[in-house]
């Protein structure tokens, strides 16, 4: 192997090692563990300062906000266990009592979850309709009952 090829091989190796190092450290710095309330409620002390995502349901009546509307204190729960949360930003429109919430942030020394991000899904208010009688009367057959395409009604 010539001197030129050896230098190219060394340069390529150094570049590959550098890329792998940046990739690995970048992933570990941005990795956030996902837990349910039941998994973190008893482990708050050991999780202090760690970046986490915690999923639970907003406890009815627990939402408190300051006069500016930017600091929200609430509880999320699962299976009778609760975690206190403080979120300092505007909440999504779907944030309300009983909403499924995912908060991202970390526990402080007092055991309160300091959220930097909040996602909320409103509780389902709709049930799937199981009575297809009105469709059968109109001549529309549910796909599970027929292999033919459903009829499209036009006026």
pLDDT, tens digit, for every residue of 96-137?
999 999 999 999 999 999 999 999 987 665 555 555 566 666
Classify the C-alpha dihedral 99-102-105-110 as positive or negative. positive
Q: How confident is the model at residue 59 (pLDDT cuts 50, 70, 90)?
A: very high
Half-sphere exposure of 10 (CA within 13 A, CB side): 7
Prediction pTM value: 0.62
Pairwise CA distance, residues 55 & 38, whole Å: 9
Q: Is 2 a residue whose pLDDT tops 90?
A: no
pLDDT-derived band at 28 (thresholds 50, 70, 90) equals: low
pLDDT of residue 64: 95
Write down the pLDDT at residue 82. Answer: 94
Give the angle 55-38-96 at the CA atoms, nearest 5°.
40
Judged against a pLDDT cut of 80, whether residue 17 lies above it is answered with: yes
Strand partners, 54: 35, 103
């Amino acid at each position: 192997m010539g001197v030129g090829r050896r230098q190219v091989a060394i340069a390529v190796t150094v570049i590959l090692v550098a890329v792998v190092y940046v990739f690995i450290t970048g992933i570990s710095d941005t990795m956030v563990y996902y837990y349910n309330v039941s998994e973190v409620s008893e482990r708050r002390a050991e999780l202090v300062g760690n970046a986490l995502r915690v999923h639970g349901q907003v406890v009815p009546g627990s939402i408190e906000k300051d006069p500016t509307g930017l600091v929200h204190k609430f509880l999320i729960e699962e299976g009778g266990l609760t975690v206190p949360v403080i979120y300092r930003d505007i909440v999504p429109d779907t944030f309300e009592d009983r909403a499924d919430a995912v908060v991202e942030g970390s526990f402080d020394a007092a055991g309160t979850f300091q959220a930097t991000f909040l996602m909320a899904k409103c509780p389902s208010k709709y049930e799937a309709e199981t009575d297809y009688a009105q469709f059968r009367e109109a001549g529309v057959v549910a796909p599970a009952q027929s292999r033919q395409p459903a009829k499209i009604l036009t006026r």
